Chain A
Amino acid sequence: MPRDYGKCIVLIYDDAKNQLAGVEIAEHDDVENRIKVHGLPRLPTETVYELLILTEPTPRAYKGRVHNYDRHTIFSLYRGQDSENRQETRYAIDAAARIESLVFDGTLYPLHTPLEARLVNISTGGMRIRTRFNALFDGNRFQIKIKIKDTDKLLISDVVYRKDTPPDSSEFGCRLVREGI
C-alpha cells in the first residue's frame, strides 16, 4: 500500500539563515520523519539544512539531511541540539496572508472583509506581519490564513507589538498561540 504523504508548506534555510529557493509545498512522511520536495536544485548530499514546516497550530523547526533523487529531494528530519533556541529564530519569508477572524473569549468572530497581509518572518513561536495601517491593536488575538500555492494554513496569534509605517501600513509582532483559541 503506498504511503500517505501529507502535503505541507516548508521553508528551507542554509546555515546563514538564507532561504533556499522559495516557499515549497512538500510531502511529509510522518512515519519515516522525512519530507520530499520536488523541483529543488541539486543540493550536496548529506548536507544539513534548517527546515521550518508550517504546521498548525504552530510551525515546527527541524534540521534535515539531504538525499538526492532524480526528480526530488528527500530531507531526513531530526531535532537539532539547538532546537530549543530556534523558537526565537526568525526565518525571513514573504508570503501572502489574510487576517480572517478575531478571537474574543474563546470565540472566533469573522471579519466582514478579511484583511490582506504579508508575512514578513516566522519562527516556531511567533511571526511578523505587514498589513493595513491600524489594522490591529496590542492584545488582539486573530486567526490568519497563510496561503501558499494551493495549500493554506490557519494560525492563531496574539499581537505583542506594533510598528507603524504611516500612512499606509503597520507591522505587527505576534506570538503564535499553541493552546488553540
Chain B
Amino acid sequence: MEKNAPVPASISLVPASIGLLFDGMVAPHDIYGADAKLLLIRRGNTLTQSRIEALRRISTDQDTIMVSAETQRLMLEHSLACKIESQAALEEETGYTEIKDETLTLLQDIQHTGAVPKGTIREISDGLSSRLEGTKPDVILDLVNSLAPVDEYLQRHCINVSLLNGLIGKWLDLPKEEIEWLVLVGLLHDCGKTSFPTQILSAPRPLAVAEFEVLKMHTVHSYDLLTDFPENVRHGTLAHHEKYCGQGYPNGLSGESISLMAQVTAVSDIYDAMVSRRAYKAPQNPFSTLTQLSNMKATELSPLIVDTFIQNMPKELINKPVKLSNGSVGLIHAFDLDDPEYPHIRVGGQVIKSTKELFCVSMYHEEDIAST
C-alpha cells in the first residue's frame, strides 16, 4: 500500500464495497481507500482472499473503497454471476437451510397424519422469530428474493411469508407478541395445501377455472387443521385470500372485517409468489412487484399494509448490485416512492433513473426479466 499516491486525472473514481472484491481478481486500475487518496491495490495486481480480509480490517470508512468505473463493473458482474453460490452460503449462515429442512419435514408430517404438531410448529416459529431479531432486513429480503428450485416452493414460501410477515410487523411497530403471531400465521398459512394433489400444486401451466376453485379450498383446509390454535391464527390462515373490496375467498369478507393477521399475510403471500419461480412462470424482479402491489391497494389489499411495505422495502435494496437491460451493471441508489418500479441506479460515476426502456433485468437471478 502506498500513501497518498496521486490519482491519474484521466480516471474518475466511484465508490464500491470491499465485499465486492473477489479472490483472483486482477485490478484493471488502481484501487483507493474511501478518501480517494490511499492507494490500496496497484493496477495489474491479483487479489487474494487474505489480502481482501486485510483490506477489510484496515478499512476506516466501513467497507467503502474508490475504484474506476471499469473496476466497479468487473466487481458487480462477478457478484451477480456468483449470486447462486453466495445464496447457498447465506442460507447456511443465517440458518435458513436448517429451517427449510424442518419445515419440509413438518409439511410432510401434516400431509401424512392430517394433524398439525403444535410443539414442532412452535419450535420452528420461535426459530424464525429469533432469526428475524438477529438478521438485518436487507439480508432477510436477500433470502426471500433468492433463486430457488421449483420443487422447494411450498416450504420456502411458508418460511418467506413468515419472514415477510415479521418484517411488516416490525415496520408497523407492532408489539413483539403480535409479530410472533404474524410469524406463526405466515408459517402455517398454506398448511392446508398439504392435502392437495401435486397435479394442482405443481401444474406446469396456469390452472383451469375448476382447478383454481379446488385450490381455493386450501384456506378452509388450513383453518380446519388448526383446531388447537388460537382463533387469531386460524382466521389469519382462513382469510389470507380475502380481498379488501370483498371479492376474495373463502367468505367474501371486506375491509377491516379482515383481520390484521390476514391483511399482512395477503401482502407477504402475493409478494413472495411474484418473486418466486414457478413451474409455469419466471420470477419477477422486486421492483415491478411494488408497482403491482400498489395497483392492488384498496381493491385487493389493505392500503395501510401496502403503503408500509412500499415505504420500507425499497430502502433495504439500496446499494445492491443490479444489471440493466442494456447490459450495464450498477448499484441501486434511490427509489421514488411514487414510481418504485424504476429505481435510480449508480452506474460508474453517474446516477441514472431507470425507465421503461432502460430497466433493471436482474438482481437476484439471471432470468428475472419480467419487469415490463
**Residue ranges of A at the interface with B (Cβ–Cβ < 8 Å):** 99, 101-102, 104-105, 107, 109-115, 132-137, 140, 142
Contact = CB atoms under 8 A, between A and B. Distances in A.
Interface residues on B, range: 10 to 19
Interface centre among A115, A136, A137 (most CB of B within 10 A): A137
Contacts of A104: 197, 199-200
B217 A110 contact: yes
Given A105-B197, A109-B196, A134 B213 contact: no
A136 B208 contact: yes
Nearest to A162: B208
B249 A140 contact: no
B249 A112 contact: yes
Interface in B209-256: 209-211, 213-214, 216-217, 220, 249-250
A140 B250 contact: no
A132 B220 CA distance: 24
Contact of B213 (A105, A111, A137): A111
Given A137-B208, A140-B211, A107 B250 contact: no
Given A110-B214, A112-B250, A132 B197 contact: no
B216 A112 contact: yes
Contacts of A132: 209
B280 to A, nearest CB: 13
A40 B246 CA distance: 48
Contact of A102 (B214, B216, B249, B250): B214
Interface of B: 196-197, 199-200, 205, 208-211, 213-214, 216-217, 220, 249-250
B209 A115 contact: yes
B237 to A, nearest CB: 15
Which interface residue of B205, B208, B216 has the most chain A CB atoms within 10 A? Answer: B208
A135 B208 contact: yes
Contacts of B213: 111-115
A145 to B, nearest CB: 13
Contacts of B214: 101-102, 109-112
Contacts of A110: 214, 217
Contacts of A113: 213, 216
Contacts of B249: 112
Contacts of B208: 134-137, 140
A44 B295 CA distance: 68
Contacts of A102: 210-211, 214
Given A112-B214, A135-B209, 13 more contacts: A99-B210, A102-B214, A104-B197, A104-B199, A107-B197, A109-B200, A111-B216, A112-B216, A115-B213, A133-B209, A136-B210, A140-B210, A140-B211
A24 to B, nearest CB: 30
B211 A137 contact: yes
Contacts of B205: 137
